[in-house]
Structure 1
Amino acid sequence: MSAISLLCIVILAGCSGQTIPVEEGGTAAVQPALSGANLSKGPLSFPTGFMTSVKTYGAVGDGVTDDTAAIQKALSDGRSNASGDYYGVPKALYFPPGTYLVSNTLQWVGCCVTLQGSGSSSSIIRLAPDSGGFNNTSAPKPMILTPLGNQSFRQNVWDLGLTIGSGNPGATAITYVSNNIGSIHNVFVKSEDGKGHAGIDLTQHYAGPLMIRNTEIQGFDVGIDLQNAEYSATMEGITLTSQNIAGIRNSNQLINIRGLTSTNKVPAITNSGGFVVLLDGTLSGGVATVPAIETDNTMFVRNVSSSGYEATLQDTSTSTPTLHKGTLTHLVVGTPSTLTGTASSTNGLDLAVQETPSFTSTSLSDWAVFTPKWYGDTSGLQTVLNSGKHTVYFPFAAYFSYNEADVTVPDTVDRIVGFSSVVNTGAGTNGGGIRFVVTSNSTQPLIIEQFGYGIKIDHRGSRPVVLKDAFITNYESYPGAGKLFLEDIGINSFNIQKGQQAFVRQLDNEISATKISNLGGSLWILGLKTEKAGTVINTASGGQTELLGGLIYPAVPVSSSQPAFISTDAQTSYIYKESVYCSGCGYSIQVQETRSGVTQEITSPNNKSFRMPLFVGYK
């Protein structure tokens, strides 16, 4: 997501109604660079009752009163199930404008919690100076701790400032795990005295797949700290300044970054054993004895510059270290692959990228609320959609639809927001849930966001559709469907139609079947994680697919005849790694490419992990 579009994820007071424009797609040799974070400071305006406020539990937010107990009470309310199974009963808390002083770790039980602020400089959680337990650099302690493990789904931190007061050298602003989907966005993380372990700590099992976007970190030993092979992190619009050891320190993780601005004397990125995709980086402030990037393993770099440093990148992956200086238009650390011998081996398909659109309403009077008459009532939803309002919202809650509710979205609606709600489904018609049908040919994008699950989409018209911060139960496209934008999304199998363009950031798919079928469109992906067997992407009929950073994790036996990636008379490039932990639980055929009836394959042992630094198909 672009830094500009993030300004309008939530409604700004007095902001005029608009959608961030997008440009036409295609193939381009040089992409416009994306810079780092462009934070929305706030205060952001929300409709009354959209979410429960922490002030309901006694938090004051005056910067003087210790709000630790009140905020912890809010986080713990209704969270007594030791199993941590809260998939169908999510929790969301609003931090109105103010500074919330805390003196101990804030934490909770179970998945699916959203902390929603009113802007990165408007709603601030601040660790008091010299707080007890935060002074031991050998035993870092977080101000915010999400649940750990691999069922910590949909943990979100949005539109907040996280500040560490002076005298807390062992503090981490947030130790963060979210699985499948979940994001930190429009967040400003700061150490007041520059000390502290990390701004964002992703070193716990099993962080990701997740997204960090439009986020700025000042100070700390490390801005973003990562390790462990599973799962992955996708970042877009990141600013790092004044770290003491490294801006980003990565060990073993797959990370995908677009739009990194770093001002540091230490390396912007250190990569030890990991796999890094970096697009659009401006790395400045360095010293002549230190490289901007240090790596001993796989990297793909495109459009990255440095100033002040010894070199832009130091590659120690071989016995002879190599320094790469100046602007790196494109560089692969690793061995690229191709089956034709005629394709470029260092840059991939290089599709033109479009930023995710966002919509802002003119005022809160332009919002329409969906209020069911009872749990399970959806009869009034079409009337709300037809109200002429530009934003339709579901106040945070658990909704229910026993029979599938099919509603048509008119041109007047530009945004449907669920505020982290879920739609529980029944055993009725089509398995229940809410299906939004888009038949319009409007050029104005339709944004549907912040639903835990229970939402289905029929994309029938040429109107662009944006889906973000959600698990989408079903997305069906039809011939003539417009552009599709997916951002921090879990989804089942879906198709890209011939001529359709799709732009994807942080996608999770865990279905035992072909996961994505590109039937002749243009598909650009930054960050993909899959589980279970089945072809990951099948591209045909002149389609274009560019995958920039994928974690393929079957976790079950895979048929020896099942390719991970298939292309037939199409143009493709892939960057990914495969994790394999049992015999036969990997793909024997990594890439299968057919051109004019001739099929070639790249194979690998199906009992060992595999890395693809870059595969370039026909261009």
Structure 2
Amino acid sequence: MRATISVISLLCLLVMVGCSGQTIPVADGGTAAPQPLSLSGATLSGTLTFPAGFMTSVKSYGAVGDGVTDDTAAIQSALSDGRSNATEDYNGLPKALYFPPGTYLVSNTLQWNGCCVTLQGSGSSSSIIRLAPSSSGFNNSSAPKPLIQTPKGNQSFRQSIWDLGFSVGSGNPGATALSYVSNNVGSIHDVLIKSEDGTGHAGIDLTRQWAGPMMIRNTEVQGFDVGIDLKNAEYSITMEGITLQNQNIAGIRNSNQAISVRGLTSTNKVPALTNTGGFVILLDGSLSGGVDTVSAIQTNSNLFLRNVSSSGYEATLQDSSTSTPTLTKGTISHLVVGTPSTLTGTINTIGLNLAVQETPSFTSSSLTDWAVFTPKWYGDTSGLQAVLNSGKHTVYFPFGQYFSSNETDVTVPDTVDRIVGFSSVVNLGSGTNGGGIRFVVTSNSSQPLIIEQFGYGIKIDHRGSRPIVLKDAHINNYAAYAGAGKLFLEDIGISGLTVQKGQQVWARQLDNELNGTKISNLGASLWIFGLKTEAAGTVINTTSGGKTELLGSLIYPSTSVPTSQAAFISTDAQVSYMYKESVYCSGCGYAIQVQETRSGVTKSITSPNSNPFRMPLFIGYK
């Protein structure tokens, strides 16, 4: 039996104007109770300590960091070193620069060629890049000029800005702090951005082509016309733990982009969020400081809210997606702008609403708890197991390029809590299993193991119940076995992911471009906040009583998709999905959006496979 969305309904989903009954505020509905507010805005920490030689310091290029000396030329020299060709592929030649504690005064845009650059500070209040007051070229608000500018997309991979403060001195009304693009993997995290006199174009500008998929987390923006500015339909942006204060036009201004935001704290007289033509998920928002002539959130397009409150504003939400605009006041437990879909005949507008756990972290206060992996030569991995067995809590790879022609399998003991690559890459070879390093986790410890900051070359065997956290990395392979423990993914690129029955998985900003079934849920509880895919193949297949909740996704096949292939499949499982699909060529979309089988009976939602598609909310069998 097949259920097909009508042409009228499809147009409503695509255009979101002129269709009745699309704003559905719910005070009493849903079989699941809404989760309590569990995440607020940014919580920025103090000074971080790193081992000597973990990364090249900008001071080795002559930067002073005294807040008086102009460090522009020195920092630009560090960024340009070895990167003279703007068209060269630097994927295998990453760059990482450390900014020790200090204030680095600059007077011009800092930029670089190629992908894969990390700017690492010692903390947002201790390592500060400051634009000098009234700097030349930053005075025109109609011609913005950035303090930091990454290369444009869509191969601007792994551009990361971590643990830094950015301060724009007074008299720079045309300044943008970060004009940022990263693709597939890359993040801004633990960052404070402020305008000293409140003026400036934007704190974070994501309007150049093509920003995302990438992540912004634990970040605060003070001042500027717009806190975070977004424009393009491609690609997706995931944000978590965001604080916005004292913007002049909007906290977040989104046009056309798919964004997922969780834990937004906004203190503003202007709207906290405007959404024009985009697809927005907002969970856990506290929007205060408003005035009674302005709504906190303004939208004319798809939007999903859960646990969002406002104070001072005319309303929490102003929805103009239909011919009759509506206002929704007070705390919104859950609300959909768009038409939810189901194949079971019962609509609820909250989604699966799985419980959310925060991503664990581990920091060691003493460098005596750190152990360094130092190869004897390029390609030597023989000493890695001994380093892991040293009893130290943190094992680190100083930033660089490593190599393993034959796959190196090492077992991670309970004593290791964190393995950090500091943006290193592990180049693969043609030997056993294609080379790389495979970390085998057999432990049943309850202490999470964190593996983070590797460009590529890392594989994981999850054989025990010990929780694993993967962050800020491209993981070449993750294999879960029966009995595998919790899995946390944060700003991760991966080709294919299978999770096992009984597992609990939380993924934030996940990029998966496998040509085939991208994610297989074999009975796990799977929560995904921000997903981007490419190539043909089923996006998520959920079976065996599994639960899958997808909150925000950009599905971008970019190639012909067989008409028999469904984007989302569930068989005797519980699911809810929110996503948009981009289609730019004939037959490059999914003819079957959702296929659900229950007790041997299969039903489907279909759509023209040459047209883009939006799913504001699909509710599977519950």
| Fold conserved between structures, TM > 0.5 | yes
Counterpart of 2:275, as a letter, is: N
Distance in 2 of aligned mates of 1:31 and 1:546: 17
CA RMSD of aligned residues (A): 0.9
- Other-structure match for 2:427: 424
Distance in 2 of aligned mates of 1:420 and 1:114: 7
- Contact 2:561 / 2:589 at 8 angstroms: preserved in 1? yes
Shift of 1:28: 5.7
Match of residue 602, structure 1, among 600, 605, 609: 605
- Other-structure match for 1:522: 525
Match of residue 550, structure 1, among 549, 553, 570: 553
1:77-476 matched pairs, under 5 angstroms: 77-344=81-348, 346-476=349-479
Cα deviation digits, residues 494-533 of structure 1 (max 9, x gap): 2110000000000001110100000001000000000000
Cα deviation digits, residues 294-333 of structure 1 (max 9, x gap): 0000000000000000000000000100000000000000
Shift of 1:476: 0.3
Tell me, what secondary structure is at the counterpart of 2:295?
Answer: coil
Cα deviation digits, residues 15-72 of structure 1 (max 9, x gap): xxxxxxxxxxxx76423431000011x3210000000000000000000000000000
Shift of 1:149: 2.0
- Other-structure match for 1:54: 58
- Contact 1:425 / 1:432 at 8 angstroms: preserved in 2? yes
Distance in 2 of aligned mates of 1:493 and 1:109: 30
Cα deviation digits, residues 211-264 of structure 1 (max 9, x gap): 000000000000000001000110000000000000000000001000000000
Distance in 1 of aligned mates of 2:588 and 2:495: 21
Match of residue 499, structure 1, among 484, 497, 502: 502
Distance in 2 of aligned mates of 1:492 and 1:576: 20
Match of residue 37, structure 1, among 32, 36, 42: 42
- Contact 2:340 / 2:347 at 8 angstroms: preserved in 1? no
Counterpart of 1:462, as a letter, is: S
Cα deviation digits, residues 462-488 of structure 1 (max 9, x gap): 000000100000000000000000000
Distance in 2 of aligned mates of 1:338 and 1:159: 43
Counterpart of 2:83, as a letter, is: R
Cα deviation digits, residues 333-372 of structure 1 (max 9, x gap): 000000001242x100000000000012241000000000
Distance in 2 of aligned mates of 1:190 and 1:362: 28
Shift of 1:284: 0.2
Distance in 2 of aligned mates of 1:521 and 1:28: 21
- Other-structure match for 1:23: none
- Contact 2:299 / 2:319 at 8 angstroms: preserved in 1? yes
Distance in 2 of aligned mates of 1:275 and 1:484: 27
Distance in 2 of aligned mates of 1:273 and 1:440: 48
Counterpart of 1:82, as a letter, is: A
Is 1:536 matched with 2:542? no
Counterpart of 1:538, as a letter, is: N
- Contact 1:343 / 1:618 at 8 angstroms: preserved in 2? no
Shift of 1:82: 2.8
Distance in 1 of aligned mates of 2:292 and 2:84: 54
Tell me, what secondary structure is at the counterpart of 1:292?
Answer: strand
- Contact 2:589 / 2:611 at 8 angstroms: preserved in 1? yes
Counterpart of 2:219, as a letter, is: T
TM-score normalised by the chain length of structure 2:
0.95
Cα deviation digits, residues 134-181 of structure 1 (max 9, x gap): 001111000000000201000000000011000000000010000001
| Identity between Structure 1 and Structure 2 (%) | 81
- Contact 1:28 / 1:351 at 8 angstroms: preserved in 2? no
Counterpart of 1:76, as a letter, is: S
Counterpart of 2:44, as a letter, is: L
Counterpart of 1:520, as a letter, is: G
Distance in 1 of aligned mates of 2:503 and 2:330: 37
Distance in 2 of aligned mates of 1:31 and 1:588: 37
Distance in 2 of aligned mates of 1:82 and 1:342: 55
- Other-structure match for 2:566: 563
- Other-structure match for 2:492: 489
TM-score normalised by the chain length of structure 1:
0.95
Q: After superposing the two structures, state which structure 1 stretch, 471-480 or 360-369, moved more.
A: 360-369
Distance in 2 of aligned mates of 1:83 and 1:429: 33
Distance in 1 of aligned mates of 2:181 and 2:436: 28
Counterpart of 2:613, as a letter, is: F
Tell me, what secondary structure is at the counterpart of 2:114?
Answer: coil
Counterpart of 2:572, as a letter, is: D
Shift of 1:85: 0.8
- Contact 2:528 / 2:550 at 8 angstroms: preserved in 1? yes
Distance in 1 of aligned mates of 2:307 and 2:518: 30
Shift of 1:84: 3.5
- Contact 2:236 / 2:532 at 8 angstroms: preserved in 1? yes
Tell me, what secondary structure is at the counterpart of 2:77?
Answer: helix
Counterpart of 1:133, as a letter, is: G
Unaligned stretches of 5+ residues in structure 1: 1-26
Distance in 2 of aligned mates of 1:34 and 1:444: 22
Shift of 1:547: 0.1
- Other-structure match for 1:513: 516
Cα deviation digits, residues 389-446 of structure 1 (max 9, x gap): 0000000000000000000000000000000000000000000000000000000000
Tell me, what secondary structure is at the counterpart of 2:533?
Answer: strand
- Contact 2:71 / 2:105 at 8 angstroms: preserved in 1? yes
Distance in 2 of aligned mates of 1:201 and 1:342: 41
Tell me, what secondary structure is at the counterpart of 1:384?
Answer: helix
- Contact 2:264 / 2:285 at 8 angstroms: preserved in 1? yes
Unaligned stretches of 5+ residues in structure 2: 1-31
Number of residue-to-residue matches in the alignment = 592
Counterpart of 1:37, as a letter, is: A
Is 1:73 matched with 2:77? yes
Structure 1 segments, 4+ long, off by >6 Å, are none
Counterpart of 1:85, as a letter, is: D
